[in-house]
Amino acid sequence: MTIQVTPSKLRKGGQYKHWAEEARVWIWYRAIKLNCDLSDYALDKLFAWTENGQGDKSTDERPRTFEWLRKKARKPRGIKNKWRTMDNLVATVNQDKRFYGTKDLYYSDLWKLLQKNTHCLKEVQLQFDELINKYKLIRVDSDSYQVLTNLCIKYGKQSVFDRCLRISLRQMNSISAICLVWIIGLMARSPQTNYIREIAELTLDKRLDDFFGVYFNGEKLHLQYYTDAIEVFLNSKIESISNGTVGYGYVEVKNEWIILPHQVIDNLSEEVLYPLPFAH
C-alpha cells in the first residue's frame, strides 16, 4: 500500500501550515477537553485573558481563543496586556492541576520529528540523551553484563533488546515513548542494526496508532495522521550518515546497547524479562 503524506495547508497570507502542526494544536486542545467538561467560552474566561486584561471580561468582546483552536487549530497571537499568546496560554493551562502535563504534550520533540525528513546527528543524540536522563534509563553493553550475555545466547539479541526496550517504555508517557523509539530507529541504518530498525518499526506502528486513536478515535484524522506519521518515519534519515561523518560507526555500535530502567539493571534476571504472559 502506498501511503500519501498529507500536504501542508495554505493559510491566509500565503503561509503553509504543516499537518503535524495542526495535529499538535488539536491534540493539545483535546487533551484539555478529555479532562474537563468546560465549554470553549468557560476555558476562555479561565485562561485566554492575561492578568492585566482581567477587567475586560465583563464586556461583550472576548477572544474566542478555544473556539478557534477547536475549529481551525489556529494559534492565538494574543494582544499585549489583554489576551494570551499560544506559548503563554500553554504555560498557564499547565498550571491547572487538571491539565498538568499538557505543556509536555505540546512541546514534545515528536512535532519536530514529524516535520523533518533529514536530521542532524548531534541534535538527535541530544534528544535521545534528554529522554534517557529524564526517565532514569541506562544503556548497557550486553557483552559486558553476564546476565544479558546469557539471555542473548538463549533467546537471541533481537528478542532481549525488544524485551528490555518494552520495560523501559513503560516508564514513559506515550508521546515520549514514541520519540525514543523513533530516534532509536532513526539511528539504526546499517545491516548490523537491521533488527533494531525492525523492532522500532513494529513498536511505532502500534504506538502511533494508539496515540492518535486517543484523540481522534472514530474520525478520519485518526488514520490520516497515523499513516502520515509512519510515512515520515520510513523516509527519515540522519544527514551525517550520507555525508560520511566520522564517528557514526560508534553511534551504530552503541545503538545496539540494551536500554533498561536504572532500578531494573541490578535485579535483572530471566524471570524479569520473560514472564508469562508478557504484554506490550
Residue 7, in any domain of the structure: no
Residue with cell 541530544: 126
Number of domains in the chain: 2
Whole-angstrom Cα distance, residue 238 to residue 182?
Answer: 12
Residue 237 pairs with which residues in a beta bridge?
118
* 88 plus 164 within the same structural domain: no
* 124 plus 186 within the same structural domain: yes
| Angle between helices 174-187 and 157-169 in degrees, nearest 10 | 150
What DSSP state is assigned to residue 45?
A: I
Containing structural domain, residue 95:
16-103
User: Which phi and psi (to 5°) does residue 227 adopt?
Assistant: -70, -35
108: amino acid identity, one letter: S
6: amino acid identity, one letter: T
Per DSSP, the three-state class of 51 is helix
* The last residue of a domain, from among 103, 128, 147: 103
Which of 201, 186, 195 is CA-nearest to residue 236? 186
Which pTM was predicted? 0.87
User: CB within 8 A of 186, min separation 6: which ones?
Assistant: 119, 124, 233, 236, 237, 238
pLDDT by residue, tens only, the chain of 280 residues = 333 344 555 545 445 689 999 999 999 999 999 999 999 999 999 999 886 555 555 556 778 999 999 999 999 987 776 788 999 999 999 999 999 999 999 999 999 999 999 999 989 999 999 999 999 999 999 888 899 999 999 999 999 999 999 999 999 999 999 999 999 999 998 888 999 999 999 999 999 999 999 999 999 999 999 999 999 999 999 985 544 444 556 667 788 999 999 999 888 999 999 986 655 5
